[in-house]
Structures are given as C-alpha cells and as structure tokens.
Amino acid sequence: MSNTAISLRDLPRLRTRNLAQLGGLLRPGTHASPLLELGERFVVTPPGFPTMLVTHEMGDVRALFANHDDFSIGQVLSRFSSHDVMFGKQTMIFLDGAEHRRERRLYAPPFQTAALRSYEELMVEVVERELPTWPVGTPFEFLTAGYDLAIGVLLGVVFGDVAPARRDRLKAAVSGWFGEIESRGFLAVTLITPFIGGYTVPYPPLRRRQNEVDAVVIEEIAARRATPGAASERRDVLSRYIGTDLDQHDDAALARDMRGILLGAYETTAITLGWIATMLAGHPAAMAEVDAAVDAGDTDRLDAYLDAVVAEVMRLRPVSPFTGRRALRDTEINGVAIPRGAIVIVPILLIHESERHYSEPMAFQPERFLDNRPSTHSWLTFGAGAHRCLGAQFALAEARILFRTVLQHRRIATIAGPMEPPRRYHTGLSPADNARITLLPR
Ligand code: HEM
C-alpha cells in the first residue's frame, strides 16, 4: 500500500443515526438521495458490521472490478445474506483467485455467444406452450408468467430432454426447492443473518429440498454417462460436460453446480421479464414502435428495438441495485487504502440514474441504446470484472427472444398513470403488484 493513499478515516462518514438513508440507494429515485451531499465516496461503520466504503467514483469502481486477487464477492454475500447456504460455498461465486478462474473456464462455454443460437428454438417453444394459459383482455400478473417462462427455458437449456418420469420428478423437486427458498421460515433465517455476523442458522427443510434435487440430477448424470455417445449429440448444458474435457467434477459436484446455475438464473430472469412487461405497458411510444415492427413483419427491426428496450429496463430496474467486494488483505483502489475485511459497495442503481452517465436519466428511452450498446463501465446490471454474471449474454438474448415471440402473438395494453413501484421489503428490485398488465389479441 502506498504512503500517499487516502485513508478511509479521511473520507466523509455517514452518521449512524442516518443509516436508514442507505435504503434510498436500493429504490429508484437515488438521484434525490441526501447521501449525494457526502460526495462520490463515503464510509459507513454500522455497529457490529464491517467498515464499508460506498463509492460511485468511476476510477474506484473500475479499479475495484479490475482487482480480482485482493477482493471477494462471496464474502460479501455470505456476510449479508444466506446465499452461501442456498448455493453451497463451493459454487463459483464463492471462489476467488485461481480457483475461481479455473471453475469459470469450465462453466462459461455453454453461455457464450457461440452456443446461444442453439437455445432459440427451445425458448420459442416455451412461450408457445405457456402463452395459451395467459388471459387475454383481463389484467394478470406477468411476473408469474415470467417465472414459468424462466423455469421452462432453464430446465430445457440445462437438462434438455429427460425421460418423462424423471423429468416430472425433477420438476417437482426443483419447484419444492424454490418454494422452500421463498418460504417464511427461510426468509426469517435470511433476514437475521446480517445481524449475527453473517452466520446462517441451519435450516434443515432447505437442505432436504436441495438433496432431493441433487438426487434426481445425479441419477440423470449416471444415465447419460451410461450412453456417452448419445450425450455428445445433445446441445443442453449438462450434455456439454459429460465425457468432455470440461467434465472434471464428480457427479455430486456437477449436480450441485447445475443447481447453482438454476438458482442464479431463475429469479433474476423472471423479475427482469416482469419489469420489461411493466415498462412496455407504461410507455405507449415504445409499444407503438414494437407494434409497428411486428405489423411490418420486420423481425430485425423488432429485435434491434427489443435489445434496446431490455438494456433500458435493466438500467432503470437492475434486479440487484448494488454489488460489492470484501478486501481479502490490505490493499488499495485508485489511491484509496482499503484495509483487510472492509467492504466496498458499488451503488449500481445510483450510477444508472446519474446525469454524469445518461442524459435525462430518469426517462425511459430505449432509443439511447439503439446505436450504442450499454457501456461496460456505467451499465452494471450484471456487475463487472472477473465475477461479472456468467449468464449475461444468455439473459439478454433470452429476454429478446421471449418477448419477440410473446409480442408476435399478443399486444400489451398501455397503462396511463404512475408506473408500478418496486416491492418494499425486498432486497432486490421486484415489481410490487407482480407486473400487472393486460394482454390483447394481435
Ligand atoms: C436478468 C438476469 C440476470 C441478472 C440481472 C444477473 C445478475 C448478476 C449479478 C449482479 C451478478 C454478480 C456480478 C458482480 O457483482 O460482478 C451475477 C453473477 C452470476 N450470475 Fe447472473 N444474472 C442474471 C442471469 C443469470 C443467468 C441466466 C445465469 C446462468 C446462466 C446466471 C449465472 C450467474 C453466475 C454463475 C454468476 C457468478 C459469476 C462468477 O462468480 O464468476 N445469471 N449475476
């Protein structure tokens, strides 16, 4: 650490009595937060918690994400949430340094651009299967549809064709497991975790549900190993491992990692789909552009516009309004000394709502992304650096393909008046009325 580095002691500090103001960084409207008066960096030292530096100074943010060796994201998640229990401490996001790099190389290929095309047909099929079950002409909660679409795509992409009896058991096990994660009991465990030093109180029902999922997946892995030739013909994520150079874990670890991918992808995707529906319903000009492209049968124009819509929705409603890293040793970012154990928080939503990065930042303007793809510095919905979301390209393509297919069959009725707000008492940004919209025939 250099002698000239700025110490956290010399930076503005948020007074303990104003701690509640931090909640304002988790909801839209951050540009009006009184915390902006503290400048681009401030320190928070809540009693019983590690010291935290909140920074939206872009030099700091870039330096933080570029420094893979001195910081851990897993240690932030396990300090503030029960993610370590949900995912397992051996899954990628909890690994650091060389171990993380190795694991990431193993799991990246099925989610890179080259592989994405092979999932498109499945995504279209999932919409065509679900769409007839949604009401037309009366309001309904698109978030529920989003969960159905997300899980339909995920099970298909991750496991492909599974023999019907086992597929039914897999679906039942996965839905029981997600149900347990969302149960009041586990919510209570999650809520107290930050206040007891990051310790997650053991919760046997969740462990049981995880074991049920793993048991079916291990059975499926064994069945595929028994016919390795058949696996090489298939394009699903699991088959891309069996019998290949990527197949370096035992069956239990492979099953656990597949479960981790399901978990990382499920809620984030469903919530984003919900926000896309809500935002389209709330913006007649955007719906008019969508309708014009569909009516003209111009899929390229529709796709280009939907890519811009997805980017703009994710700017204004990033599922995770902040991310962070914990220092594994004494280190420095951009001339600021960060002591071992301190946490650096990046307020993603605040950056997304800043005039320094976006003109009219509070306005929904997909056009801003029509000719400019989102910047990897100031558009941070998927985080950045070595732990940037593994499924980012996949999630972007998926949102475009799912909405293209929905909108080719249905219109979304526009809604006058204020936008549906985010849910209160939810750490992420999720639509409070479950993305209530009305679909109309096309
Ligand atoms: C709209 C959907 C999604 C959002 C908003 C989202 C968001 C995020 C964020 C914020 C991170 C942490 C990044 C950081 O702090 O730098 C992350 C990590 C991760 N996400 Fe996603 N995610 C989404 C979909 C997916 C999907 C579809 C997959 C699975 C294919 C996935 C798998 C992962 C994994 C494995 C990591 C950990 C990466 C690592 O530690 O190297 N996510 N995601």
Q: Which domains does the chain have, with CATH numbers?
A: 8-434 (1.10.630.10)
**Whose Cα sits closest to atom 11 in ligand 1?**
389
73 lines ligand 1 (CB under 6 A): yes
Ligand 1 atom nearest to 325, measured from its CA: 15
Torsion of CA 253, 254, 258, 263, to 10 degrees: 10
Residue 45: CA atoms inside 13 Å, Cβ hemisphere, count? 7
CB 322 within 8 A of CB 346: yes
As beta bridge partners, residue 13 has: 43
- Which residue, among 93, 75, 66, has the nearest Cα to 256 in the 3D structure? 93
Q: Does residue 234's CB lie within 6 angstroms of at least one atom of ligand 1?
A: no
The CA distances from residue 192 to 217, 326, 424, in Å, are: 32, 20, 17
Other CB atoms within 10 Å distance of the CB of residue 130: 15
Q: How many CB atoms lie within 10 A of CB 199?
A: 13
Q: Whose CA is nearest to atom 30 of ligand 1?
A: 391
| pLDDT attached to residue 132 | 97
Both tokens of 279, joined, read 């935002």
Which atom of ligand 1 lies closest to the CA of 318?
Answer: 5
Question: Residue 86 has what pLDDT?
Answer: 85
| CB neighbourhood size of 2 (10 A) | 7
Residue with the smallest CA separation from ligand 1 atom 4 is 268
**Which of 268, 313, 316, 401, when mutated, tests ligand 1's pocket best, judged by the most ligand atoms within 8 Å of its CB?**
268
Residue 224 and residue 239: Cα distance in Å, rounded? Answer: 8
Residue 1 is predicted with a pLDDT of 66
Which residue has a Cα nearest atom 16 of ligand 1? Answer: 383
383 CB less than 6 Å from ligand 1? yes
Residue of the nearest CA to atom 41 in ligand 1?
387
The reply to whether ligand 1 has any atom less than 6 angstroms from the CB of 269 is yes
Instruction: Give the angle 82-84-89 at the CA atoms, nearest 5°.
Output: 170
Q: Which residues neighbour 45 within 8 Å (Cβ) at sequence distance 6 or greater?
A: 13, 16, 51, 52
Q: Is 104 in the pocket of ligand 1 (CB under 6 A)?
A: yes
14 has which bridge partners?
44
Q: Residue 82: enclosing H or E segment and its boundaries?
A: none
pLDDT of residue 121: 93
Pocket test for ligand 1, best of 86, 389, 402 (most atoms within 8 A of CB): 389
Kindly list the averaged pLDDT for each block of 10 residues, start to end, along the chain of length 442. Answer: 87 95 94 95 94 97 96 94 85 92 90 89 96 97 96 93 92 92 90 89 92 95 85 82 84 92 93 98 97 96 98 97 97 97 98 96 97 92 96 96 98 93 84 97 93
**Pairing between β-strand 52-55 and β-strand 343-346 as defined by DSSP bridges:** parallel
Q: What is the C-alpha to C-alpha distance for residues 432 and 423, in angstroms, rounded to an integer? A: 4
pLDDT at 245: 81
Atom of ligand 1 nearest to the CA of 94: 40
Does ligand 1 lie within 6 Å of residue 320's CB atom?
yes
Atom of ligand 1 nearest to the CA of 111: 30
